[in-house]
Amino acid sequence: MGESGASEQDKNWPKGLNEREISAAAKTIDEEFSYQTHVHGRRRTAIRKLDSFNDHDHKIITRIAKKLRRNFLFSTLDENVLDTLAKDFEFVECEQGVVLIQQGEVPKDELIYYYMLIEGECQIEKNSIKVLSRFGVLGPGALFGEQPILFNNRTRAASVIISKPSILYRLNGDLIHKLFNETELKNLQDKTNEIIRAFDYLSGIQTGVGGTIIRTYQPSGLWLMMRWRGTVLQYVWKNVIFMLFFTLALALSFDFTNLLLRETYDYVGFHFNLTAFAQFWNTLLPMTSFVVTFFLAQAYQFWSKFYWRTRKIQARFNDISLLVASTMVRDGNKVRTSSIRAAEKIYRLQFIIHVMVYAQAVRRFKCVQSPEGLSYMVSLNTLTEDEFDAFIQARSNNLSCPNIATSWLATCINEAINDGDLNMTIAHTQVMLHNLSGLRGTYAGLFDMYVGLFSELCIVAF
């Protein structure tokens, strides 16, 4: 994964600028560069301030400022502020094994930093156990460490350990926190919480604690009574409470009037005049029960169709992955490095399709398709900057993000075949095209379920 990230991200840095060469030159030639060396056990970390008057460092600062402009945390700030902020970054070079972030409470006298990984690789560990998914490894281009700064929380949820010799830039978190007033910070916190929560659901990070795209149907009375989100009660509780209090007020007014005007008020005659309304209600009662039962049944059918379509989407992803894995080129018993890189890129694009499909189909995930959500994906190295620009342009032209990502996937597979990284025959290629077109047709059908008025009524009823 690290190699794949480097090949895609490094090209975005100034041409001819090699961070290790800069580091070596700074240590041996440029005497004005001052390094601090920290030793963690037997592991060494070298740190120095960036010098805006040095040509190499000036290029680095310019690139940092450009990268910050694309980040969801800094998108509302002026360019002059970002240029100044970029000068405050420090150059950090770490040996393998250095614990960059330690899980647990951060001491009050210890600074919290925001990191930008340029070269190397970091491993995320939780409770001393490696996170094995692609989100457990940070590659070149990743930005991390913003949550404790943004939410002023000194408790780290996980450790970040240097798994390969790495070069990073870091920024004191206090400088970020001072950029926003209280209102801006609250809005940013709310938006970030929404995006992180949605992305964690879609990436499977929250699955172990009940995070799912589609809630499991459990035909239990107690389970149904405890549901809130997505139920009829969530949408009509205000109207129901209003009608309850209105009816109560009407009944009390009748009784109160009867007490005050006991001799002159024709209480029996008034109630007799309401008999017609009672008969009308009794006539409508069976129809009301039929409508509620009918739409409840239709809502369940809608849920069932949605569920099985998502299973078909998963099946297409599995078929594509199986074809890629079985046709990777091997030199003896070892898979060729270029084939691994191609497979990792194909997997990343499949994940992007997965995220974009459900971000378009499910309301609570739509924030992921916002510029801030896409920027968050860039900070995780899930999207490249070129892909980010393409999605932003697609949104402005009302184009489908899943369709764009699917075309990228088809192109990537075709390039891997032409480059000899996937050893696919004509039969393999035909099956792959069939799965790609099937994938597109299946998720398109998912969106079509929302188009008809009948389906919309079912959603509201449910």
Measured distance CA(138)–CA(130) in Å, rounded: 12
Residue spans of beta strands (DSSP E) within 251-338: 330-331, 334-335
Tell me the CB-side half-sphere exposure of residue 50, using CA atoms within 13 A: 28
Q: What is the CATH number of domain 2-179?
A: 2.60.120.10
Per-residue pLDDT of the chain (462 residues; tens, 9 = 90+): 333 344 344 444 444 434 444 344 333 333 334 445 554 455 667 888 888 788 888 888 988 998 888 888 888 888 889 989 999 999 999 988 898 888 888 887 788 899 999 999 999 888 888 877 667 888 888 888 888 888 888 788 789 999 999 999 999 988 888 888 888 888 888 998 899 888 888 876 544 434 455 555 555 667 666 777 767 778 788 888 998 898 888 778 777 766 666 555 555 555 666 677 777 778 877 777 777 788 778 777 887 888 888 889 989 999 999 999 999 999 888 999 999 999 999 999 999 999 999 898 888 889 999 999 999 898 888 898 899 999 999 888 888 899 999 999 999 999 999 999 999 999 999 999 999 999 999 998 888 776 654 444 444 433
Report the SS3 class of residue 105. strand
Distances (CA, A) of 330 to 337, 417, 423: 9, 14, 9
Structure confidence at residue 269 (pLDDT): 58
Structure confidence at residue 43 (pLDDT): 60
Measured distance CA(304)–CA(74) in Å, rounded: 42
CA-wise closest residue to 408 among 332, 331, 348, 357: 348
Domain boundaries, the chain: 2-179, 221-273, 298-461
- Predicted model pTM: 0.71
CA-wise closest residue to 349 among 306, 307, 402: 402
Report the SS3 class of residue 288. helix
Quote the distance between the C-alpha of residue 51 and its chain's center.
35
CA-wise closest residue to 405 among 443, 356, 332: 356
Structure confidence at residue 349 (pLDDT): 94
CA-wise closest residue to 180 among 154, 157, 142, 152: 152
Structure confidence at residue 361 (pLDDT): 86
Characterize the bridge pairing of strands 99-101 and 334-335: unpaired
